[in-house]
């Protein structure tokens, strides 16, 4: 059993936005902190994830946290040895989930008494990492055995490695590379942003207390889901089969192939707690990800990540590719890659952990 803890920052400064607001974040821990506080692993969650990475809040919970398969006693991230911390992101997408503590556009601005909406500061993943470090500082933790994360969490792990080299012993990035290429900037991130803002119910972001722009949110999440899967995944699971009940797509635009029906079903099942504005801001933070600052070259930025680094790459991933990883390996001083092909795309980093569980365990040990 696990519990959600809350952390408040009275004044948090957003570096690029140049503004300061109060911030609240939730976090969970697994395992026992050693007396010297030297057995800590920082876990960073993925785009639509949150800090509930393992265990259950109650025995009756239908399912455990999102990486429960590899976090726990005797598992790859062994909580008999390590103390694992996972924190909610700034502006977590799951804003309406009562178990998620986060500050975002749906939070009320204490100065006005109304929701921030689009007045919320645009933030970067570096801001997220800085906020998470404040949680560690409050716990007296000065050293991390490793920073680990899948997808967006993998991007954050590189930020930890670059900006806190004296603190981080190892970096494990799962299905992420140290770059956000222009194609990935557009697909799925900018296309998802456009999907939401084009919904008339979005109303410039001022929809709180009114009808949410769910049509735009549905389309944004479908764009995200398809970008994180593959043709083989769709063919193997659905093929060109039709939905059995309802009109034929050969006779009506309301008719659906099974892939259309099932993708929408998956999305609707997961977006009940999503705040559309939260989706916008997280997508924006991903588009802004760049380890290079000022006049830094890619090589310069990579060479600042000096700790042992492991990149786990799926050859079927459309977003962060083997080629991108190989390019980074040329300049990372102490890095290697574990590569495989699930044929199921980016989301296999959450649902098919058997492909890399032993590799992570070996690298940690």
Active-site residue numbers?
A: 151, 317, 346
CA distance 117 to 105: 4
Beta partners for residue 87, in sequence order: 27
Contact in structure between 153 and 46 (CB atoms under 8 Å): yes
Burial class (CB in 10 A: 0-12, 13-18, 19+), 201: middle
Contact in structure between 159 and 129 (CB atoms under 8 Å): yes
Distance of CA 226 to the CA centre of its chain: 16
CA distance 1 to 54: 9
Contact in structure between 107 and 132 (CB atoms under 8 Å): no
End-to-end CA distance of the chain: 26
Contact in structure between 83 and 245 (CB atoms under 8 Å): no
CA distance 269 to 225: 13
Torsional sign, CA 26, 141, 133, 164: negative
């Amino acid at each position: 059993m696990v519990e959600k803890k809350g952390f408040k920052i009275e004044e948090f400064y957003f570096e690029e936005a140049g503004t300061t607001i109060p911030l609240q974040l939730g976090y969970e821990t697994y395992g026992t902190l050693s007396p010297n506080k030297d057995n800590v692993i920082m876990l960073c969650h993925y785009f639509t994830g949150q800090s509930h990475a393992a265990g259950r809040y109650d025995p009756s919970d239908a399912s455990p946290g999102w990486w429960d398969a590899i976090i726990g006693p005797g598992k790859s991230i062994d909580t008999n040895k390590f103390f694992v911390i996972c924190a909610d992101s700034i502006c977590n997408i799951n804003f309406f989930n009562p178990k998620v503590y986060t500050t975002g556009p749906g939070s009320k601005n204490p100065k006005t008494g109304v929701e921030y909406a689009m007045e919320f500061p645009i933030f970067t993943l570096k801001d997220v990492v800085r906020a998470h470090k404040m949680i560690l500082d409050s716990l007296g933790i000065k050293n991390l055995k490793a920073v680990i994360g899948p997808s967006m969490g993998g991007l954050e792990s590189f930020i930890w490695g670059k900006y806190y080299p004296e603190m981080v012993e190892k970096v494990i990035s799962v299905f992420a590379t140290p770059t956000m290429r222009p194609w990935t900037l557009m697909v799925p991130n900018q296309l998802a942003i456009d999907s939401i803002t084009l919904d008339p119910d979005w109303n410039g972001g001022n929809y709180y207390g009114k009808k949410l722009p769910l049509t735009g949110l549905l389309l944004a999440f479908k764009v995200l889901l398809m970008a994180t899967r593959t043709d083989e995944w769709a063919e193997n699971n659905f093929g060109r089969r039709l939905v059995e009940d309802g009109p034929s797509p050969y006779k009506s635009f309301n008719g659906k192939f099974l892939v259309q029906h099932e993708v929408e079903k998956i999305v609707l099942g997961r977006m009940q707690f999503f705040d559309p504005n939260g989706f916008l801001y997280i997508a924006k933070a991903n588009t802004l990800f760049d380890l290079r600052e000022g006049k830094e070259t890619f090589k310069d930025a990579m060479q600042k990540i000096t700790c042992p680094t492991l990149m786990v790459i799926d050859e079927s991933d459309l977003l962060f590719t083997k080629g991108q990883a190989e390019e980074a390996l040329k300049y990372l001083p102490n890095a290697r890659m574990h590569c495989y092909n699930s044929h199921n795309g980016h989301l296999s980093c959450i649902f098919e952990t058997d492909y890399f569980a032993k590799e992570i365990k070996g690298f940690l040990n």
